[in-house]
Structure formats: C-alpha cells, structure tokens
Amino acid sequence: MRESFLKYIQYEKRFSAHTITSYENDINQFEQFLTDNYGEKLEEASHNSIRHWVVSLVEKGTSPRSVNRKMASLRALYKFLLKREIITKDPTWKIQALKTNKALPQFVNEPDITRLLDQCEFSRDFEGKRDQLILELLYGTGIRLSELINLKTDDIDIYSNTIKVLGKRNKERIIPFSNNLKHVIEDYKQLKKMSVSAKEDEYLLVTETGDRCYPMLIYRTVKKYLNLFTTIEKRSPHVLRHTFATHLLNKGAELNAVKDLLGHSSLAATQVYTHNSLDKLKSVFDQAHPKA
C-alpha cells in the first residue's frame, strides 16, 4: 500500500526525488508511532491517533512548519487510499494546520553578489569554471537546485540567450540569460570537452569524473563562495533563487513576470518577495519625497 502510494507520487504526480524521500520518512515515522501507541496499521489510523501524533511532535519541540509538512504527507497518503477505496473515511479531515510565523526569504544584497561574481578569482581549471557557472546560473536565472542538476546541454540556446527548464509537475518554461552568462557557459563547455570524459554528456553540469552533478556538490560549492562574501545566516542554492527574485522586483520587474521566471503556479508563492521590495520602496520614498 505504502509502496503503491510512493510509486503514484513518483510516476503519476511527478514529485521530485527529494519530496518523495520526505513523504516516505514522514509516513514511516507516523507508522512507527501507530505501532508503538495503538497497534494500528496505516489504513486503520483514526482522527484521534493522528491528533495524538501531532501533539507528540509539538511536545518534542518539532516546529509548526515541520509538523504541517508531515501532515501534508499524511493528507496525500489518505487522499490516495480514499481514492483507491482502501479506506472509507479520511482520518486527516478537520485536522487544522498549525499557525506559523511567515519567514521572509533570505537573500544576498546587491553589492555582495556583485563582488562575488565580478571579483572572485575562480581557478582557471574545469572545477573553477564549473563553480562559476553554478553560481551564475543560480543567480542569473533563479532556477531550483533540482532544475540545475537536470539541465541538459541541449537545453541551452546560445543564439537566443535562453534556457529551457523542466520544473515541478513537468512544467516547461523558457528563461533568458545575460551575455555575461553566455560567455561563462561557452568557456565551461570548452573546458568540459577538453578535460572531462563525460559519462553523462547530455547533462550540462558534471563532476571531474564525468558523472552528473549531485545536490551535495552544489550545496558545498554555493556555501564555499557565499562564506567569502556575505554574512547572511542561510547560504544555500535556494538563497540565490531568492536573491534573483528579490533583485528583479527591487529593480521594478512586474510580479507576474517574476512568477513566470520562477515557475510558480500562482502569484501567492511569488508575493513573499514583495516585502523586501516594499522595504526598498520605502527607503527611496524617505530619501526622495519632500514631505517624507
């Protein structure tokens, strides 16, 4: 049953590998709780046993955001079981999400990201050029980590300065990029051809041994360089995506345009960046308006 659900979200819903792993871990954790406290199987869980699990998570210090994510996993599971007529009633019904403080996305300020990309001395070998390309792509296009790793060489159109990205739910979008990024891509591809015997030649970013890049390599690369140029707490690939969106809005880009570039399905997900833009607008107002 659990295996059928995991296959469903993998092959039919097209969830990312990271999301599937999170769902599986959440379900396994809840199943262990049921076994230890109620002697029930997943399909036998009741409204009360799920509420008890939520309370136990909170008492252990699990953040409301994490609890809500775990509940999203259970809701998806029981919706699947209901659809397959394995259960007749959804036990997650009427269990409300916990209130959370809306965390604003962290981003690198413009002077720091400019110094990183313009003044950092990347090594002239394949690894140095790949590191530069990773940073330039994340900040220059706002793509997600998973999209970066799955980016194929043929997805880059050097002539029109665009990349084709396959995002969540297999949604395809086209993102323009700068001439500066174009030069970095061309230099990288030339070094890659000379230096690496690529086993995964269809993918743009590869390791020194020719294998496709993996998430931890990207994380280590981003953290290594952000450590040199910024003091923000979070230093992950996603921070560069936040930085991309925030800087566009700060420069006057339309919210709908940023939404399309990020691959968001609704404006609600993009609007979180407007807070940072409003701070910038207020600063401009205070400096420029005669009555401020």
In Å, how far are 50, 61, 157 from 66, measured between CA atoms?
A: 15, 10, 39
Helices and strands per DSSP (H, E), number in the chain: 13, 3
Please, where are the H alpha helices in 102-153?
A: 110-119, 126-141, 145-149
In contact, 49 and 34? CB cutoff 8 Å: yes
| Cα–Cα distance measured from residue 19 to residue 25, given in angstroms and rounded to the nearest whole number | 10
Token readout for 168 is 């969540």
Dihedral sign (CA 101, 105, 110, 114) = positive
The first and second tokens of residue 59, run together, are 């008492």
Catalytic residues: 144, 168, 238, 241, 264, 273
